[in-house]
Amino acid sequence: MSLSNIANDPNKRMILFGGKGGVGKTSISSATAIYLAEQGDKVLIISTDPAHSLSDAFSQDLSGGEVIQIEGVDGDLCGLEISPEKGTEEVKHMLEEEGVSDELNQSLSMLGLDDLTSDLHQNTPPGMDEAVALSQVMQIARQGDYDRIILDTAPTGHTIRLLSLPEFLDSFLGRLLKMRVKLSNTLAFFKSMVGMEAEKDRSVEIMEKLKENILQIREDLQNHTETEFVVVSIPTLMSVYESERLLVALTEQNILVRNVVINQIMPRNESCPFCSARYHSQQEVLEYARQVFSDYVQTELPYLAEEVKGVEKLRKLASMIFSDA
């Protein structure tokens, strides 16, 4: 089987690839992007993995924060690496510019809550960096300039954190907003006592907007017509177990998954003791994986002797991914 069901469905505008680190997500997503572009689609591939390797895959610098045309492809393919950390810093900077951080810290300090002040200043909710990066992706998607957007996501743990972020924000921001309103009133009272003019409080508005943005991301991810997640694994028990957890999380969040790719399968080679041992070990795991993923279309890819780097090698990988042989 292959990923042809995605290629043959033009409505699938957003295709996300995820899995454990080191399973080949970047190579597979990059090869998919080349294949779709050379089939006539206008394609943008984006990496939100903090440890970017998209530039390495295409042998072209895509790290500048701007959409770049990828060279050597017989079609319209662009690439972009988004820095989650940079996005989070921009959110913090925005809050500081609006005075939200200062006002909140001042209010908390006046009530003797300096420890909480420090914690809120130094830490962001888990998954926020991924959410900010994905928010930028969704903004690009809504502009409608591309037929397909391929997303090379961060490793599984980051993805699961992101999926649970809306519920976390409902709780975290809900409590914080209530506290902020109370503290704002308290601070305004103290300012009036000493004749200071109370400034307009925009923190509630900004935080609510942030929460609405995260909820919109989840709604976009749950759009089964336009969005699909592809899980990438390799034939090791650790990777298969992690893929199982990811599939459970995606199902719980109502995100469409039809395909599982099992990558790096060793060929049989009895003349090499190491290769033979690795082959037989993988076969045991493969038997288990095929049962675990029986509800999904499974694409099995061989272990390649050479590093998949550059458009030509990615194109060869694409021929394997989209072959029904």
Query: Using an 8 Å Cβ cutoff, are 255 and 303 in contact?
Result: no
Sign of CA dihedral 53, 56, 58, 64: positive
Is 49 an active-site residue?
Answer: yes
Q: How many CB atoms lie within 10 A of CB 7?
A: 19
Beta-carbon contacts of 92 under 8 Å, excluding residues fewer than 6 positions away, are: 101, 124
Query: Using an 8 Å Cβ cutoff, are 188 and 194 in contact?
Result: no
Query: Using an 8 Å Cβ cutoff, are 217 and 138 in contact?
Result: yes
As given in the structure block, the two tokens for residue 235 are 């034939």
Query: Using an 8 Å Cβ cutoff, are 102 and 60 in contact?
Result: no
Which of 41, 49, 152, 201 does the annotation list as catalytic? Answer: 49
CA distance 58 to 313: 10
Quick one: angle between helices 165-193 and 100-110, nearest 10?
A: 70
Query: Using an 8 Å Cβ cutoff, are 68 and 80 in contact?
Result: yes
Query: CA angle, 124 as apex, 119 and 127 as ends, to 5°?
Result: 145
CA distance 197 to 192: 7
Beta-carbon contacts of 164 under 8 Å, excluding residues fewer than 6 positions away, are: 127, 249
Query: CA angle, 18 as apex, 17 and 23 as ends, to 5°?
Result: 105
Distance from the Cα of residue 197 to its chain's centroid = 44
Query: Using an 8 Å Cβ cutoff, are 23 and 234 in contact?
Result: yes
Q: How many CB atoms lie within 10 A of CB 37?
A: 24
Question: Which residues are known catalytic residues?
Answer: 49
